[in-house]
Structure 1
């Protein structure tokens, strides 16, 4: 009787999880369609094809664009979490060099970092061995961590990416001298939709999904993630990536 009850409970949980996954898939798909249309018309307005915009109209278009970007981020994050939890996210693991990923991430965020007079430094050995993972997903992880460091570090602050090879893996650390995280908030940091209550954090736009995605992506690729932080002094987030074996293809 107990076995039958447990079996039914398992099936109910599985069905509920599938219903949740299907619902998120439908919602994210349906949201993408009108947002694509909104973006298209916004770009037309900004291009001047419908007539020159005055200063106020240009500001309105910029507000629309910023909020579209926020919504796109939310939709992508929800989609990523849904695919990871349902086992539908594909990881195209292959041999690659971290230097290329770090350079891409640095270039993509350099303008935003420079805009707040922050500095980004990268330290890694020139002869760093290749790693074995999905370069797109690792780029997403690193971009998320560096972007967080940028958002939660004061103007003029310092951000560093340090890569250290170990025996079987590469250790990647993102270090900042920003606002830091309280001990109370540290216990909930990787929880979905969690955002710290501090004024500095609430001043930045976000949904509280990024670190949850980062953790799931790292662990799905046989890596580990950890962090150290002290309120008012900054944070260090560290994750590992397996080194490529000689016979890895």
Structure 2
């Protein structure tokens, strides 16, 4: 084993950590890197919780790392020898603190103080960021659950009232209930977007990628937004060639993405405009384009279009309700599915959104 940590090895570690979101994946990567760097026989990452130490991840016997003889004596920033063959390095000092432990590292492999300080900082920063994302995810999950319960109740009772099960309704009452129902749906969309964004941030997004018909996904998406399109008297045209291959995607997420794009096209196009939907097959990719004759997007705004929670200052955009999350979530979901989304636009000339999806392959 090398006594000094080569710069390229630190670069490899940093690049590997930047790709990870889950704290446990970061711990595993850090431990594997330290074992490879030192040739240690065993290793572990320890976490102090409620006055006791537990082994978060280990290479070797996990129980051997929680015995009193190997617990770290106080704080420090360098390797500390706590037993004949056991060394510990602090990674995170914030509660709960975390330590990297090695048993029987190679002779001299822990002597490069500057190299290990750099590695310690890389791992610690990645872990702290991941833990913060995990805490936000836990908050969002709880908040979403608590919000969904009353929304489901309000939605159910509103639908019962609209059906006249509590007595006949006047025209005004029916219209008011439709407004309530529309706002409940808008809240549900926000809650779902928040949860999806949180899952992507923490690396906990789980997709069910399968063989999907793009025509069927578009049909469902159009069903969801048809009322908006017809209410604004837009002309809708579809150009879907025969023999279009299926795509590899998560059905529920793909239908949601197409709905968001179509809904944006309808809302940001003045009444009486046109929305054109076309699809094509290009090698291993299926492309779906949604083009409108709407207000368009300024070049400066296009650069920030996929930034979470960002919305344009254009008054015509501000008069349409929104939270600035839908496109950011759509891009994250598509990239996770192996696809992409692009936007071409010019002020006053409309917008074209191009969605790329991998064509389904049995392999």
Q: TM-score, normalised by structure 2?
A: 0.64
Look up the match of 2:327: 211
> How far off is 1:122 after superposition?
1.1
Structure 1 residues 1-249: aligned runs within 5 Å: 1-54=117-170, 56-245=172-361, 247-248=362-363
5+ residue gaps, structure 2, are 1-116
> How far off is 1:76 after superposition?
1.1
What CA distance in whole angstroms lies between the structure 2 residues aligned with 1:222 and 1:189? 20
Q: 1:86 to 1:5 in 2, by over 3 A?
A: closer
Q: 1:24 to 1:43 in 2, by over 3 A?
A: same
RMSD across aligned positions (CA)? 1.8
Structure ID, larger Rg: 2
Q: 1:109 to 1:70 in 2, by over 3 A?
A: closer
Asked if structure 1 preserves the Cα contact closer than 8 Å seen for 2:228 and 2:263, the reply is no
> How far off is 1:130 after superposition?
2.1
> How far off is 1:105 after superposition?
2.0
Greater percentage in helix: 1
Aligned length: 247
> How far off is 1:55 after superposition?
5.0
Q: Deviations over 1:155-206 (max 9, x none)?
A: 1101111111101111111111100001111111001111112222112111
Q: Secondary structure at the match of 2:140?
A: helix
5+ residue gaps, structure 1, are none
Structure of greater relative contact order (alpha carbons < 8 Å, 6+ residues apart): 1
> How far off is 1:60 after superposition?
4.0
What CA distance in whole angstroms lies between the structure 2 residues aligned with 1:180 and 1:156? 16
Asked if structure 1 preserves the Cα contact closer than 8 Å seen for 2:241 and 2:280, the reply is yes
